[in-house]
Amino acid sequence: MDSYIFGFPEIDKTKLPLAGGKGINLGELSRIEGVLVPDGFCLTTEAYQRMIGSNKEYSALLDQLSLLKPGDRAGITQISARIRAVIEGIEIAPDIREQIIDYLSRLGEDKAYAVRSSATAEDLPQASFAGQHDTYLNIKGQDAILRHVSKCWASLFTDRAVTYRIQNGFDHRKVYLSVIIQRMVFPQAAGIMFTADPVTSNRKVLSIDAGFGLGEALVSGLVNPDIYKVRDGRILEKKIATKKLALYALEEGGTEKREIEAGRQRMQSLTDTQIQELGRLGRKIEACFGSPQDIEWCLDEGRFYIVQSRPITTLFPIPGGGGKENRIYVSVGHQQMMIDAIKPLGMSFFEFLSRGFPLHKAGGRLFIDYTYDLSSPLGRKLLVGLVGKADPLVLNAMLSLMKRKGYIKSLPRGKRVLSMRTEGLSWQLLVQAVKISRKPDPAIIQNLIAQNEASIKDLQRQIAGVSGEELLAFIMNDYRNFKKMLFSPQSLGVIMAGMLAMNWLNKQMERWLGEKNAADTLSQSVPNNVTSEMGLELLDVADVVRQYPAVIEYLPHATDETFFKDLAGLEGGLEVSDAIRAYLDKYGMRCPGEIDITKPRWAEQPTALIPMILSNIRNFGPQASRAKFEQGLREAEQKARALLGRLEKLPGGRPKVRSTKKKIRVMRNLIGYREYPKYSFIQRYWVYKQALIKEAAKLVQKGVIREKEDIYYLSFEELRETVRTGQLVYSVITKRKAEYEFYEKLTPPRLITSDGEVLTGAVNTDRFPPGALAGVPVSTGNVEGRARVILQMADADIQEGDILVTTSTDPSWTPLFVSVKGLVTEVGGLMTHGAVIAREYGLPAVVSVENATRVIKDGQQIRVNGTEGYVEILS
């Protein structure tokens, strides 16, 4: 007879498919010396599969469930309830009943038991499923236990479990349930212990939630727990809750709520000695599992019992893996407006660009180690002045850390990231910026652009003649040479001169005239801004498309594979194809998240432009491109005249006017180039990518990889070795794909310490209206309109007068800006791309509004104050 039962000591990690996540964790716990685990056993998933495997009604309902989306709540509720009823109605097979009863007789039939669910996709490092399946406490008697086994099986299809699986991409047919039957403990106190602080993510601070009676009262939210914080065996903090209720077991089975007598309500659930003992147990369990743990514990007659331990899945990995020294890591993605996970090949290219910087990978993102800068007084000043410009909340997080004098003193000293030796920073750069400011000749920019365009043509010609390992070596060498041009003192000097002029204008106009962010309007419609030109030129494409109704009717149904072929068969299709191809020739290398070379470009997915083209047709008339540019130019000129007129009337007005005129000229002549260097290296990315994809096709033909895109999951050096040897262990690709899927679900921190502590920077809200969402003002003005919460450009359905609300914007989002009235983002700073283009187009904009896409609902009326930096929800 097949065995469907394992005792806890028999269960190890190899039995995950049989015992589920909770089962294998209890098996591991039962083998840790000094850890008490209540006796019990596991009814394997094979018993579940045998019971439901041949049931046709169950199978048919599962087919219906697999078609539903997370938002189909009514459908999920209805079908899940029917599946649960089917499962509970199936009689447990005699041989399975016999094995359960036999094991119960060994443990004691008259005892009380907890009957607990353990799914194969539960309590795992990458998916906790915590609370998704049911647990039943204090169950007595064979019949009651067998009945609750069926209830546990059925709980695989609670609404919450089904929705969780759909959201996390788990196949309903591939998740099975085992059932844990475990001796009940009737504790005086119980609770949860996190071996990493759940609030700050600090791995060295252990947090204990405790209350009287059964721990289920805390888990279900019935009572507020005491909270104890422990570090290195020392109690850091105690928060004693008023505990009016507790959950206790009944003699006849089941549980009940009881009031706690008044004298005990404010007592500690655990003594200080017990807190420290439990903390030591937590660290022992964490060491055994090798990662921070979420542990359920009970205290009975002075002894601690552990009834569960699962990985904490919400923690962001520590860059550099932690260590003994205190270190500080700042997110690269928040500086680049791209906080998505990056594939390994994309990581390699960005590392090449940032070579010389102490970069660390974690959670599919890159972080810079700024420890030595923060330990130095000069380094701290440079960090505040440079890094804070890109994302003010990073700056605020650093400033809050700097207030911890003891922590800052504990930081090791060494070679700073930011100094005049840093690539792109030098005294020569300052000299160039001053020189260019004195004579802000637009011809300098034209020469720089011409130099880059010639370089791109030369690259395209040369790269066509190389392949194999030679291609990889060629790309590496070209990239090194390109960096010298990208970071040349003249190129960076132009940018610095424009930014210094802009900062001067904002500072002096507020000081002299009380005018905030005056440069926002003064910088509208500046020349040589390749990103804003990209948005306006898509309006010109829309002008071609609007002439042909058959094309407009076709576009919503277009597919990338047959796009241009389909257009050729429509009236006006050739004219539209020519217009779109010309646009892609210039901007086809762009896409959302473009700093990751592996992201699909518009040239690869031209249908990505369709929502924006249709929005332009719907929201604008013909020749809107020229009209918008000229309008911005008029507003900038009017603003300049108004400011100069007011300055002339001030004491010392003439020198103020002279200085202001000069700074306006410097800014307008130079600030547009701010967007060009990124455009130039994305151009190069596209040339490299096309060559690498051709090489990947050869690897597919040789059977080394299965699809061209597999190369994205290799680092550059790994790809180079694969091309050289023609060999690859394919499991590397499979593993990396699974890791990437997990990393995509993580939210990267702006700043994280080597202890894993995540610091967030708050914005001062004292001067804002009640309930307003605080952010950072980056483009002046006030606007009201409908919020369009858009997480992906493909979902962009913009109507005239909408306000775009999103996580972050890079240059690829610019074509949307021509159709909206305002901008709100969760990430960004004064000189990031979204802010620059918002100012150029005259859009009020507020960035660094935390959780904006969750707090603001799509379709709500909102007011954006781009002058002060806040957003109000009006309806």
Length of the chain: 875
CA atoms within 13 A on the CB side of 541: 31
Handedness of CA 23, 27, 32, 38 (dihedral sign): positive
Cβ-based neighbour number of residue 392 at 10 Å: 21
Per the DSSP assignment, residues forming a β-bridge with 305 are 36, 298
Q: Per 3-state DSSP, what percentage of the chain is helix, strand, and coil (rounded to 5)?
A: 50, 15, 35
Q: Which residues, at least 6 apart from 501, have a Cβ–Cβ distance to it below 8 Å?
A: 437, 663, 664, 666, 667, 670, 671
Helix (H, G, I), strand (E, B) or coil at 267: coil
Q: 321 — alpha (psi -120 to 50), left (phi > 0) or beta? A: left
Contacts of 89 (CB under 8 A, 6+ apart): none
The alpha carbon dihedral of 392, 395, 401, 405 has a sign of: negative
d(Cα 517, Cα 526) in Å, to the nearest integer?
17
- In 354-441, which ranges are continuous DSSP H helix? 371-374, 377-390, 392-402, 405-410, 427-438
**Residue carrying the six token digits 């241009």:** 564
Task: Please work out, in degrees rounded to the nearest 5, the angle formed at the alpha carbon of residue 5 by the alpha carbons of 4 and 11.
Answer: 120
Q: How far apart are CA 488 and CA 510, in angstroms?
A: 33
For residue 174, what are the CA distances in angstroms to 120, 134, 183? 9, 19, 29
Are 306 and 126 in contact by the 8 Å Cβ rule? The answer is no
Alpha-helix runs per DSSP H in 155-209: 159-168
Which residue do the tokens 């009016």 mark? 244
Rounded CA gap, 462 and 458, in Å? Answer: 6
Annotated catalytic residue: which of 148, 172, 334, 833? 833
Residue type at position 285: I
What would the two tokens of residue 734 be? 């499979």
Is the distance from CB of 145 to CB of 35 less than 8 angstroms?
Answer: no
Question: Which run of H or of E encompasses 295?
Answer: strand 293-300
Q: How far apart are CA 861 and CA 625, in angstroms?
A: 28
Burial environment of residue 391 by CB neighbours within 10 A (0 to 12, 13 to 18, 19 or more)? buried
Query: What is the crossing angle of helices 94-107 and 45-52, to 10°?
Result: 150
Q: Copy the structure tokens of residue 402.
A: 């700097």
Q: How far apart are the first and last CA of the chain?
A: 66
Q: In angstroms, rounded to a whole number, what is the distance separating the alpha carbons of residues 645 and 701?
A: 71
Active site residue 172: no
Which of these, 703, 706, 708, 728, lies nearest to 717 by C-alpha position? 728
Angle at 59 between CA 55 and CA 63, to 5 degrees: 170
Contacts of 552 (CB under 8 A, 6+ apart): 545, 546, 614, 617
Residue 752 β-bridge partners: 329, 758
Does an H or E element contain 677, and which? Answer: helix 676-701
Sign of CA dihedral 831, 836, 842, 848: negative
Active site residues: 833
